[in-house]
Amino acid sequence: MLISVIGAGYVGLVTGACLAHLGNEVRVVDIDRARIERLRGGEVPIHEPGLDELVAAGLANGRLSFHADQSGTYGSQLVIVAVGTLDRAGEWYGELVERAVRGLAEDSRAPRHLVVRSTLMPGTAVRLEALAQAIDPDVRLCFNPEFTREAVAVRDFLEPDRVVVGAGRDAQALVQELHELYAPMGRTILDTDLTSAETIKLASNVFLATKISFANELARLCAATGADVHAVVDGMGLDLRIGRSFLSPGPGFGGSCFPSQVRALPELARSFGIEAPIIAAVDQSNLGQADWLIDGLERARGASLAGSRVALLGLTFKANTDDLRESPALRLAERLVARGARVVAYDPKATEAGVVQLAAGGVTVDAAPSAAEAVIDADAVVVGTEWAEFGALDWAALAPRMRGRIIADARRIIDRDAALAAGLTVVAMGVTHTPDGGGAAARIAVPVTAAAAV
């Protein structure tokens, strides 16, 4: 099938490269000419495992091409709109999607079958359909949300849990084309209306964000009572009704999707006069996790961080990506600096970019070329991102280079036994592990009643 994709960002590039891999001829269109030239040369501007190889293969076999003008869509059977939906403040807005849909509808040489893959607020697709059909009644529109996660986006696209197709009016022919397009995956395809498809996408992300925040709040409770939060979530996850996925405590969630959507969904509910207190609380809970983690570091240290030197390992919002958007590691950096610490940061993919982004927000952080350099003379080490290389650090060699003795592992990635053997104290999810074998959480007195004892 000959298709076009509007947008060469995360969603558009993964969509285009994967569909070319499945045997289609794909033309990716973007107004950023510099980006298009880089892609034509095989240079992928984002770090996403497996994507470089797919782009290279698509260019080599001629099934993938890049274009800087809408004329690149001419002759395509359908066009997928995958442009960004975040403004400079990181909040959802649909102006770029609307602009793309309008431009395609106004261009009679462009495909009349439009598929929106950019994330939309419920009700937006119906409005876009009406806008397009007011320009040209022959336009048909579907909403086909993506469920890919950064760092595993290629695998998620090619092996999806499900494919959702939200159909507009009289769009049966377009729906059939999408079924044919996704048939090689052999996965369940759910056909629904436009607004339900939008809501499936948004509700899925917000629910997963809620699971993360629940696990983080549970970690705070476990640290206070003496329970091991990781044993607790493992035990909960064995219940098939709950599941273990995303029930993992850490520094909080980040990235381009979850933060904006957990803010947008309760706002949408309020616009209809509906209160959503559970969803509305997720954002504040997430933002509070960084302070709780740093509170634990100061308690373990027995002193404030004012005047200290802290090595921050990791800046991206998750491992195996170079994405810094709303990264919880950056929040840790901001809070550490606010408490008077001098922060020296290292990230395998985004050290300089992270330092520049923090500086743009008025937060000064020093850059280190490696984890080993970052920990020199550090009073404490904070692990903010779960990069695999942090799990393989040689603490026997690093500990003598540190001034202090504490590691705050917000990701549970480091080799705790090796760190303890090197004479270091490890703080993980509120539990302080010491070289002498101490590993109990800070406890509070819990009254034992007859009911509680039963």
The Cβ of residue 22 has, within 10 Å, a number of other Cβ atoms equal to 17
Which distant-in-sequence residues (6+ apart) come within 8 Å of 110 by Cβ? 70, 73, 74, 79, 103, 104
Do 275 and 342 reside in the same domain of the chain? Answer: no
pLDDT of 231 over the 60 cut: yes
Rounded to the nearest 10 degrees, what angle do helices 194-225 and 229-237 cross at? 140
Q: Is residue 447 domain-resident? A: no
Least confident of 54-58, 144-148, 342-346, 435-439: 435-439
The separation between CA 144 and the C-alpha centre of its own chain, rounded to angstroms, equals 19
Confidence of residue 438 (pLDDT cuts 50, 70, 90): low
End position of a domain, from candidates 254, 284, 314: 284
Amino acid at 174: L
SS (H, E, C) 393-423: CCHHHHHHHCCCCEEEECCCCCCHHHHHHCC
Q: Are 212 and 253 in contact (CB under 8 A)?
A: yes
- Among residues 229, 256, 284, the one where a domain terminates is 284
Spatial separation of the C-alpha atoms in residues 97 and 359, rounded to whole Å: 31
Per-residue pLDDT band for 454 (boundaries 50, 70, 90) equals very low
257 is catalytic: yes
Q: How far is CA 51 from CA 40, 216, 325, in A?
A: 14, 32, 20
Q: Domain range spanning residue 361?
A: 289-433
Separation of alpha carbons 425 and 432, rounded Å: 7
Asked if residue 342 has pLDDT above 50, the reply is: yes
**Residue 60 identity:** A
CATH number of the domain to which 373 belongs: 3.40.50.720
Do 275 and 306 belong to one domain? no
pLDDT digits (tens, 9 = 90+) for 289-330: 999 999 999 999 999 999 999 999 999 999 999 999 999 999
Average pLDDT over residues 361-373: 98
Evaluate whether 367 touches 392 at the Cβ level (below 8 Å): no
CATH of the domain at 275: 1.10.1040.10
pLDDT of 441 strictly over 60: no
The verdict on 249 and 336 lying in the same domain is no
Residues 160 and 11 placed together within one structural domain of the fold: yes
- Name which of 389, 384, 380 is nearest 411 in CA terms: 384
Mapped onto helix, strand or coil, the DSSP state of residue 245 is coil
Question: CA-to-CA distance for 59 and 74, rounded, in angstroms?
Answer: 19
In 208-235, which positions are buried (b, 16+ CB within 10 angstroms) versus exposed (e)? Answer: bbbbbbbbbbbbbebbeeeebbbebbee
Which member of 18, 142, 222, 257 is catalytic? 257
Could you give phi then psi for residue 129, rounded to 5 degrees?
A: -60, -45
Kind and range of the H or E run holding 183: none
CA distance 170 to 153: 32
153-170 pLDDT, tens per residue? 999 999 999 999 999 999
Give a yes or no: residue 274 inside a domain. yes
pTM of the entire predicted model: 0.92
Q: What is the pLDDT of residues 114-152, one digit of tens each?
A: 999 999 999 999 999 999 999 999 999 999 999 999 999
Task: Specify whether 13 is located in the same domain as 152.
Answer: yes
| Partners of 434 in the β-ladder | none
Q: How confident is the model at residue 452 (pLDDT cuts 50, 70, 90)?
A: very low
Task: Enter the DSSP assignment of 143.
Answer: E
* Residues 354, 279 share a domain: no
Question: pLDDT tens for residues 252-300?
Answer: 999 999 999 999 999 999 999 999 999 999 999 999 999 999 999 999 9
Question: What does the angle CA 116 – CA 117 – CA 118 come to, to the nearest 5 degrees?
Answer: 100
Q: Would residue 378 count as lying in a domain?
A: yes
Domain presence at residue 219: yes
DSSP 8-state code for residue 92: B
Question: Rounded to an integer, what distance in angstroms lies between the CA atom of residue 82 and that of residue 5?
Answer: 7
Q: What is the number of domains present in the chain?
A: 3
Predicted pLDDT of residue 439: 61
The predicted model gives 366-374 an average pLDDT of 98
Give me the amino acid identity at 389.
E
Q: 243 and 220 in one domain?
A: yes
CA 264 – CA 270 distance, rounded (Å): 10
- 316 part of a folded domain: yes
Pick from 187, 210, 237: which residue ends a domain?
187
Same domain, 46 and 139: yes
Say if residue 231 is in the same domain as residue 375. Answer: no
Query: Would you say 297 and 312 are in contact if contact means Cβ atoms under 8 Å apart?
Result: no
Average pLDDT over residues 37-57: 97
Stretch 80-93: mean pLDDT, rounded?
Answer: 91
Question: Closest by alpha carbon to 260, among 41, 378, 90, 454?
Answer: 90
CB 36 within 8 A of CB 12: no
Strand order in the sheet with 189-193: 64-67, 25-29, 2-6, 78-81, 113-116, 140-143, 163-167, 189-193
- Does residue 197 lie within any of the structural domains? no
d(C-alpha 314, C-alpha 46), whole Å:
17
- DSSP conformation class of 440: P
**Domain shared by 84 and 225, yes or no:** no
**pLDDT of 10 higher than 70:** yes
Same domain, 364 and 253: no
Measured between alpha carbons, how far is 54 from 59 in angstroms, rounded to an integer? Answer: 9
- Residue 451 domain-assigned (yes or no): no
409: its two tokens: 């592992």
Sign for the pseudo-dihedral over CA of 374, 375, 380, 384: positive
Asked if residue 445 has pLDDT above 50, the reply is no
Query: What is the average per-residue pLDDT within 358-368?
Result: 98
**Residues 54-79, mean pLDDT to the nearest whole number:** 98
> 10 Å Cβ neighbour count for 443?
10
Evaluate whether 329 touches 251 at the Cβ level (below 8 Å).
yes
Q: Do 253 and 294 fall within a single domain?
A: no
Task: Compute φ and ψ for 311, nearest 5 degrees.
Answer: -90, 120
Percentage of residues of the chain with pLDDT beyond 70: 96
- Is residue 193 a part of any domain in this protein? no
